[in-house]
């Protein structure tokens, strides 16, 4: 595809597709041209808004044919890892809204029930679609909704997750409940697909004979099919539907297909991009240092000093910042696939074997392995360090990806210490303290954002960093992690208004540092400011700890509301929750005046 392809021409051609019914009326010979137009449209629009480009470029023909064979307004169509649904959105009448993709009030980057009746589930975490499909097929059988077909579009990367195999185990045992599993096999998720299933699929792609693992489980198997041949894919899907039993249709695709910069990107085929030049694929703005990149540098430096330090991740070696470590110590990085539960318990085994594992995952995804953190790691008091990227508000990825639950869940884990660095220097410092801990698990959380200048402390008291102490300050702001800067700005504003204010960074926010209560108990008002869900946040735990003091201060929690938040820019969502300088100062003034 030429980058010079007119976006206006693509829009004009796509304007005739207002829904899947228009697609089904197209002659088969028009489909390759439509696929090219969709790719041109994707490159043009995603280059402006940012988003998941590579996965959608690879799923164009496959999605066209799914909508030609099945009726998403009537059948149950489920996509595993919903970032591959841009083409689905285009074909279901949302092309004109793509200028708003991942923008506040605009199109979600994932399926959205509020957007369209064609979006059955809001699926954006991998390896869940087959379980949804199993339940939908059971419901259809019980309710007698004959003719409503169940279709799950699943990437090969999702098959590295245990839930997929738990679901396949059930699907294969029920030949009377037909489910069509469309396997979009591009050989990778973010990174190349790992493990035994990757080798098995590679053998199938190479034409090796013998039964497939799917057939051994009781499902039928069709393929492999060229996933970019619309005629071949449509024929295979129609054959699968006619079988009226659980069946896997194995479609081989290429991530980033048709866009030269994505095809040439060996790292992840432009899986996710910001705003780019559509001609070259290069970012339009230079990349600033991020929390992720600082972690990557420091964990590599630690690895050079500590041969017992190893890293574990779940299909996110590069996004989680482990690229430098993997390049220098390739034998000490374990990518277990999209399998967070296994990652945590495997890390427990590494710790039992005398190593210190660092588990690097997104904060939102650790929730899938809380039981393993609790009973496999903490119960055994094992030295495992969890590094939680994308903590708090992530921005354009929306409700499923905001990392706003980990800091509420982890404090209940006995023996686990949770830290939140306020700047680069503290990230490096706290990471070193974490990997030096040998009597239990530790965790660090930081946001998806660029990092600003370091914020020096006036002094350290009781394990906490005092960042500001006005003479006679009756108000204390407890700034958790990156909330330090807005807290300092709010304190300066309050002081200028005659309200002397102190600011302290607890560094370790669970369990509460011994000195935090001492710093807080003589104040009139304490406001704990944290980029996490208000339920279970530090403020509530601090209020409980101070409740039995002779003169307990009033303790408020300024945090995120306990609900799923939409996609929007991180600063915007933080401001709406009162987690900017103006909101913090406003909260203090309101309570002092009351």
Among all residues, which ones are annotated catalytic? 255, 340, 368
Written as six digits, the tokens of 24 are 């089904």
CA neighbor of 123 nearest in space, from 146, 75, 148, 155: 155
Specify the residue for token string 């419901």. Answer: 139
Written as six digits, the tokens of 254 are 């290429």
Written as six digits, the tokens of 285 are 């703005």
- Cα-based angle 3, 109, 571 (whole degrees, multiple of 5): 105
b/e map of 166-189 (b: 16 or more CB within 10 Å)? ebbebbbebeebbbbbbbbbbbbb
- Identify the helix (H) or strand (E) that includes residue 344: helix 340-352
Q: Which residues contact 413 (CB under 8 A, 6 or more apart)?
A: 373, 374, 378, 441
Three-state secondary structure along 198-210?
HHHHHHHHCCCCC
Written as six digits, the tokens of 40 are 């041109």
Written as six digits, the tokens of 152 are 């799950």
3-state helix, strand, coil in the chain (%, to 5): 45, 20, 40
Please, are residues 338 and 162 in contact by the beta-carbon 8 Å criterion? no
Please, are residues 81 and 109 in contact by the beta-carbon 8 Å criterion? no
Q: CA 148 to CA 15: how far, in whole Å?
A: 29
Task: Give the distance, in angstroms, between the CA of residue 359 and the centroid of all CA atoms in the same chain.
Answer: 15
- Identify the helix (H) or strand (E) that includes residue 546: helix 538-546
Q: CA 17 to CA 59: how far, in whole Å?
A: 18
For residue 281, give the DSSP letter. Answer: -
CA neighbor of 283 nearest in space, from 266, 265, 257, 295: 265
**Where are the strands (E) in 367-524, listed by range?**
385-389, 417-419, 442-445, 459-461, 464-469, 475-479, 501-505, 508-510
């Amino acid at each position: 595809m030429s980058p010079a392809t007119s976006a206006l021409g693509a829009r004009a051609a796509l304007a005739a597709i207002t829904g899947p019914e228009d697609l089904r009326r197209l002659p088969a010979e028009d489909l390759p041209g439509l696929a090219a137009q969709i790719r041109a449209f994707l490159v043009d629009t995603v280059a402006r808004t940012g988003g998941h480009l590579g996965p959608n470029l690879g799923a164009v023909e496959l999605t066209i044919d799914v909508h030609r064979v099945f009726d998403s307004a009537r059948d149950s169509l489920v996509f595993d890892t919903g970032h591959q649904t841009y083409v689905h959105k285009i074909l279901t009448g949302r092309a004109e809204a793509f200028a708003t993709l991942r923008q506040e009030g605009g199109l979600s980057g994932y399926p959205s029930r509020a957007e369209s009746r064609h979006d059955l589930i809001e699926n954006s975490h991998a390896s869940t679609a087959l379980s949804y499909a199993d339940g939908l097929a059971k419901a259809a059988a019980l309710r007698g909704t004959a003719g409503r077909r169940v279709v799950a579009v699943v990437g090969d990367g999702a098959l590295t997750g245990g839930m997929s195999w738990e679901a396949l185990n059930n699907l294969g045992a029920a030949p009377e409940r037909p489910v069509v599993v469309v396997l979009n096999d591009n050989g990778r998720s973010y990174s190349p697909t790992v493990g035994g299933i990757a080798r098995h699929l590679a053998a199938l792609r190479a034409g090796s004979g013998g039964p497939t693992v799917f057939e051994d489980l009781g499902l039928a198997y069709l393929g492999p099919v060229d996933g970019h041949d619309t005629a071949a894919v449509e024929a295979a899907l129609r054959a699968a539907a006619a079988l009226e039993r659980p069946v896997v249709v194995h479609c081989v695709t290429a991530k980033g297909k048709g866009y030269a910069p994505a095809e040439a990107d060996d790292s992840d085929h432009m899986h996710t991009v910001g705003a780019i030049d559509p001609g070259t694929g290069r970012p339009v703005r230079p990349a600033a240092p991020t929390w992720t990149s600082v972690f990557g540098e420091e964990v590599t430096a630690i690895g050079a000093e500590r041969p017992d330090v190893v890293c574990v991740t779940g299909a996110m070696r590069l996004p989680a910042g482990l690229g430098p470590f993997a390049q220098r110590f390739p034998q000490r990085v374990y990518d277990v696939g999209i399998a967070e539960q296994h990652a945590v318990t495997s890390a427990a085994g590494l710790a039992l074997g005398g190593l210190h594992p660092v588990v690097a995952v997104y904060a939102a995804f650790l929730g899938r392995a809380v039981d393993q953190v609790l009973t496999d790691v903490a119960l055994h008091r094992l030295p495992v360090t969890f590094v939680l990227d994308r903590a708090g508000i992530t921005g354009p990825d929306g409700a499923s990806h905001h990392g706003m639950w980990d800091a509420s869940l982890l404090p209940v884990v006995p023996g686990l210490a949770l830290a939140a660095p306020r700047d680069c220097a503290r990230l490096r410092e706290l990471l070193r303290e974490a990997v030096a801990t040998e009597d239990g698990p530790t965790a660090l959380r930081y946001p998806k954002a660029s990092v600003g200048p370091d914020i020096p402390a006036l002094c350290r008291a009781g394990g906490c960093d005092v960042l500001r102490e006005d003479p006679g300050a009756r108000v204390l702001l407890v700034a958790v992690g990156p909330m330090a800067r807005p807290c300092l700005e709010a304190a300066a504003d309050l002081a200028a208004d005659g309200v002397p204010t102190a600011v302290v960074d607890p560094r370790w926010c669970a369990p509460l540092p011994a000195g935090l209560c001492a710093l807080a108990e003589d104040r009139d008002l304490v406001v704990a400011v944290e980029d996490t869900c208000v339920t279970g946040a530090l403020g509530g735990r601090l209020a409980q700890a101070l409740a039995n003091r002779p003169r307990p201060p009033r303790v408020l929690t300024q945090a995120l509301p306990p609900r799923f938040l939409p996609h929007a820019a991180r600063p915007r969502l933080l401001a709406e929750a009162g987690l900017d300088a103006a909101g913090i100062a406003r909260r203090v003034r309101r309570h002092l005046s009351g």
